[in-house]
Amino acid sequence: MPYCPKCGGEVAEGDRFCPHCGERLERGGEEGVAPPSPGALEHLSFAFNLASRKPMVFAPAILGGVISMVISGLVSFTVGLYPWGFTPGLGYPPTPRLASIIIFAGLASIVGAIISYILFFASLDMSRDAYLDRPLDLGKSVGYVLRRLGTIVVASIVGAILMVTIILIPVALIMFVILVFDETGIGDSISKAFGVLRRELGDIIILLIIAIAGSFILGLIPMIGSLLSSAFNVIISIAFIDLYSYYKKAI
């Protein structure tokens, strides 16, 4: 049974990554020489193939999309119950007061947003597990997010600030990938994200363009467009994980 050169844990023959620490076990050419980094389309192709082999990786994103659709429909239905322009005195049954409906709609929207937020990062964690050939467990991924919720919330605030600048949007996105993939802190994630940006700028821009265009086109499909966009974003996440993994071996 071979062992990981980084942590010493046992690994199986043919494993691409150590299941204990995530160390890449594949070597290209001579020992110590990192394999050449693929291009953006190769990262995307790898991500698509991996997700196709492990469809469970889509579970958090699809679940989050379904919950958002259900809550949006429920809110719309509830608001629609209010008899705009009608009164019970004209033969219509008594209805809830408008203030109550607005409060319910607001609370439901907040709950839906929180659930979707947690499932977004659970999806990123599950994508990491799929990439590292680990078992996929939705409950485990959600639990991981809840354990690191404080760090993730602060990282989200920092990411939002970075995104305001527009040009630092790639840094914010890669920061989230590193935060989960390396299970590291916010400062370390940002520092590494700038390093990735300097080295892989071209591929990052291509992946972002594909992500924006793909999500826009899929979002135009009636009924299931939002779910397809969510699934597509999972593939994009895996592509960024693959890009970052190759970057780590090149430095």
Render 184-246 in DSSP notation, one character per residue.
--HHHHHHHHHHHHHHHHHHHHHHHHHHHHHHHHHHTSTTTHHHHHHHHHHHHHHHHHHHHHH
Task: Give the burial string for 27-38 (b: 16+ CB within 10 Å, else e).
Answer: eeeeeeebeebb
Task: Assign 32 a pLDDT band (cuts: 50, 70, 90).
Answer: very low
Question: Domain coordinates of the chain in residue numbers?
Answer: 40-250
Q: What percentage of the chain exceeds 90 in pLDDT?
A: 58
Q: Global pTM? A: 0.78
Task: Assign 7 a pLDDT band (cuts: 50, 70, 90).
Answer: low
Backbone angles phi, psi at 24, to 5 degrees: -70, 130
In tens, the pLDDT along 93-129 reads 555 566 677 777 788 888 888 999 999 999 999 999 9
Termini Cα distance of the chain: 28
- Specify the range with the lowest mean pLDDT, choosing from 33-37, 145-149, 199-203: 33-37
Backbone angles phi, psi at 10, to 5 degrees: -70, 140
Half-sphere exposure of 207 (CA within 13 A, CB side): 33
Task: Give the burial string for 173-188 (b: 16+ CB within 10 Å, else e).
Answer: bbbbbbbbbeeeebee
Whether the per-residue pLDDT at 39 is higher than 80: the answer is: yes
Q: Residue 36 has what pLDDT?
A: 64
Count of Cβ atoms closer than 10 Å to residue 140 Cβ: 14
Would you say 18 and 184 are in contact if contact means Cβ atoms under 8 Å apart? no
**166 — alpha (psi -120 to 50), left (phi > 0) or beta?**
left
